[in-house]
Copies of this chain bind each other. A is one copy, B any other.
Amino acid sequence: MPTQAEIARFLAAEFPQTKCTVEAVGNQASTIRHEIGIEELRPGGTVAGPVLMTVADVALYVALLGEIGIVPLAVTSNLSINFLRKPAADKAIIGRCKLIKVGRSLAVGEVSLSSEGSDAPVAHVVGTYAIPR
């Protein structure tokens, strides 16, 4: 299976504009970090929802790549997010993914998102990836 460094290189090559970094991957899990700056904020000083969804999607993708190898054509088929608390405006967002099923054609995982340094999740995501044959 690919190492953290290999997945980080793949991500940087395939998604050069991404601000997500791979903090950990393996054992059907991943940890992703996304710095928060002025571009990620909405009025009221909260992190924009699509930023949270992006971190969750990358966390699912990285956890899956760590499990099945680098499969560029895996695509998200469903993503469901619950927004729970207001994220801090001046902290990175951390996404922690655990896969709950890796089948032949579908993988399902959940992601807990929080502001760095806090345990209270700001959002919770369940997502499904379709794996090409």
Q: Which of A1-9, A47-55, A62-70 contacts B (4 or more CB under 8 A)?
A: A47-55
Give A contacts to B, CB under 8 Å.
14-15, 17, 39, 42-43, 49-51, 53-54, 57, 75-85, 100-101, 105-106, 108, 110, 112, 121, 124, 126, 128, 130
Bound CA span A101–B15, Å: 28
19 CB < 8 A contacts A-B? A49-B53, A49-B79, A78-B83, A78-B128, A80-B80, A80-B81, A80-B126, A82-B100, A82-B101, A82-B126, A84-B100, A84-B108, A85-B101, A100-B121, A100-B124, A105-B130, A108-B124, A110-B110, A110-B124
Indicate how many identical chains form the complex: 4
